C-alpha cells in the first residue's frame, strides 16, 4: 500500500491581533529608555511566527528624536515564509531643558527634521515659540 501526500501551499501571511500604538515622551537627558508591549501575532499553521523588529523594547533612544519601529512577522511556509509588515508605530521624544529665571525650553522635532524651541515661563505658563 502506497501513501500519497498532497502538499497544499500556505499563501496566507501571519496576522497581529495587537500592535503597540504611537508613543510620545519628554526627556530631560540626551537618551532615554523606552518600553512598549510586544505585538501579539499568530499564523494559520498554528506554529508561532518569527517576529523581528528594527529596535527592541527597552532600547535607549536619543532625545529629541522621532523613530519608526517596524515589526516583521514571518511564518514557516516552505520554501519561503509569508511576511506580514503592517505592525509599526512611531516614538516621538521631546527634550525639556531648564534655563535661567524659571524659563524652560522644550525642543520639538517635527517632520521633516525641523527643530522648534518653545519657551515657557513656568510661573504663569506663557509661551514663546522660536
CA distances 56 to 17, 53, 96, 117, 126, Å, are 19, 7, 24, 29, 38
| pLDDT (0 to 100) of residue 27 | 92
Kindly report the number of other CB atoms within 10 A of residue 110's CB atom.
Answer: 11
- 10-37 pLDDT, tens digit each: 889 999 999 999 999 999 999 999 999 9
In this structure, are strands 83-98 and 23-27 parallel, antiparallel, or unpaired?
Answer: parallel
- pTM recorded for the entire structure: 0.69
- 58-106 pLDDT, tens digit each: 999 999 999 999 999 999 988 889 999 999 999 999 998 654 444 455 5
| pLDDT (0 to 100) of residue 126 | 41
Cβ-defined contacts of 7-11 (< 8 Å, 24+): 9/77, 10/44, 10/45, 10/75, 10/77, 10/78, 10/82, 11/77, 11/82
Q: What are phi and psi of 100, to 5 degrees?
A: -75, 155
Of 69, 68, 70, 65, nearest to 113 by C-alpha is 65
Amino acid at each position: 500500500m502506497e501513501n500519497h501526500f498532497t502538499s497544499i501551499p500556505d499563501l496566507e501571511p501571519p496576522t497581529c491581533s495587537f500592535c503597540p500604538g504611537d508613543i510620545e515622551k519628554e526627556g530631560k537627558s540626551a537618551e532615554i529608555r523606552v518600553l512598549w508591549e510586544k505585538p501579539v501575532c499568530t499564523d494559520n499553521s498554528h506554529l508561532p511566527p518569527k517576529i523581528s523588529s528594527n529596535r527592541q523594547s527597552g532600547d535607549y533612544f536619543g532625545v529629541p528624536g522621532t523613530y519608526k519601529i517596524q515589526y516583521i512577522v514571518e511564518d514557516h511556509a516552505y520554501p519561503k515564509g509569508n511576511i506580514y509588515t503592517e505592525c509599526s508605530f512611531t516614538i516621538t521624544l521631546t527634550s525639556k531643558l531648564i534655563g535661567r529665571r524659571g524659563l524652560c525650553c522644550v525642543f520639538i522635532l517635527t517632520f521633516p527634521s525641523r527643530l522648534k524651541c518653545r519657551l515657557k515661563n513656568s510661573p504663569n505658563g506663557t509661551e514663546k515659540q522660536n
